[in-house]
Amino acid sequence: QGWSTWLQIKVPLEVHIHANNWGFMSLLFAGLLIDLYPSFTGKSLAWPKSPTRIFWMMTLGALGLILGPWFEASIFTVPGIVLHLSATIWLLLNVVKPLIGTGELSTPGILHLVTAYFWILAPVMMAPLVLLQIPGIPGPSIEQNAPQALIYGWALQFGFAIIPLLLRRVFLPDSPAKLGGNWFSLIAVHLGGVLLWAGIFLNDSQTALHGAAYGLWFLAMLPIAYEIWQIISTAMGGLQEQESLPTVAEAGD
């Protein structure tokens, strides 16, 4: 509370969450998606000149989402939501449009990347209802639990697709670019998000639903962990073969 008091931050927890999620991770993930997209699709973005505008829309949107709870003023929050939401939708359209009709949109890796953004958009879409204090909308419970669905449904799921891709580039540079994930990881991670949000609204069953959500997220990680192990073990096997080649050559001489 020391820094928050000195900086006169009205709602420190929200400022912290918004700075990390909307400010840091959103920009990082957008940059990775834009930079890596041609490598795993073989295509350009639908609007190749749009990344600069998307960057500034996300940056200014994040600033509004940080200043809103900082000063407890919706005059910053509302424009921030609009800018960030618009930039995110534009980013996703950039990704999806070139793949329509190619069949790639029905692969687990692409679906991990695209559908992960539902879990960052869900709290944004709920924000006006919370701000307006609509009856039946459990504002405090949403503010407390929605970040978990955002982290595990969005950030973790984005990593499911991107981390194996990056590891292949490092350890297996000659192999085709391939996003991580399979149908089990895709279904399990989304079911976890659904159960966590269900627990927000069904308070009497919240503990059981949230426990099941975390269990599903753990299970969703298992195929990804196995995929990463396969990548590293294949790379190590290749290194061992290379090390044995000089020995074989010397024996032949």
- Answer whether residue 223 is part of any domain: yes
Residues 54 and 113 in one domain: no
In the predicted model, what is the mean pLDDT of the chain?
Answer: 91
Shared domain check, 230 and 123: yes
Last residue of a domain, one of 106, 130, 164: 106
| pLDDT at 56 (0 to 100) | 98
**249 falls within a domain:** no
116 and 235 both lie in a single domain: yes
The 10 Å CB-count burial string (b at 16+, else e) for 142-157 is: bbebbbbbbbbbbbbb
Read off the pLDDT of each residue in 98-123 and give the average, rounded to a whole number: 94
Q: What domain count does the chain have?
A: 2
- Same domain flag for 133 and 230: yes
Same-domain check for residues 199 and 231? yes
Task: Give yes or no: residues 101 and 156 share one domain.
Answer: no
- From the list 19, 15, 86, the residue with the least C-alpha distance to 56 is 86
Q: What percent of the chain has pLDDT over 90?
A: 74
Per residue, the 3-state secondary structure of the chain, as one string, reads: CHHHHHCCCCCHHHHHHHHHHHHHHHHHHHHHHHHHHHHHHCCCCCCCCCHHHHHHHHHHHHHHHHHHHHHCCHHHHHHHHHHHHHHHHHHHHHHHHHHCCCCHHHCHHHHHHHHHCHHHHHHHHHHHHHHCCCCCCCHHHHHHHHHHHHHHHHHHHHHHHHHHHHHHHHHCCCCCCCCCCCHHHHHHHHHHHHHHHHHHHCHHHHHHHHHHHHHHHHHHHHHHHHHHHHHHHHHHHHHHHHHHHHHHHHHHC
117 pLDDT tier (thresholds 50, 70, 90): very high
Last residue of a domain, one of 106, 131, 162: 106
Domain boundary among 57, 90, 106: 106
**Does residue 98 lie within any of the structural domains?**
yes
Does 75 have pLDDT greater than 90? yes
**Interval 211-237: pLDDT, tens:** 999 999 999 999 999 999 999 999 998
Separation CA 219–CA 241 (nearest Å): 34
Question: Do both 79 and 118 map to the same domain?
Answer: no
Residue 248 has pLDDT above 50, yes or no: no
Q: Which residue has the higher pLDDT, 241 or 21?
A: 21
- For residues 67 and 118, state if they share a domain: no
98 plus 130 within the same structural domain: no
Residue 135's pLDDT band, with cuts at 50, 70 and 90, is confident
**Residue 190 included in any domain:** yes
89 pLDDT more than 60: yes
Within a domain: 156 = yes
Please state whether the predicted TM-score (pTM) of the whole model is above 0.85: yes
In a shared domain, residues 213 and 196: yes
Q: What is the pLDDT of residue 246?
A: 62
Is pLDDT of 35 > 60? yes
Asked whether residue 245 is assigned to any structural domain, the reply reads: no
Give the span between the Cα atoms of 210 and 195, in whole angstroms: 6
What residue numbers bound the domain in which 43 lies?
1-106
User: 54: pLDDT confidence band, cut at 50, 70 and 90?
Assistant: very high
Q: Is the pLDDT at 251 greater than 70, yes or no?
A: no
83 plus 206 within the same structural domain: no
**Most confident listed range (62-76, 141-155, 213-227, 231-245):** 213-227
Residue 128 shares a structural domain with residue 222:
yes
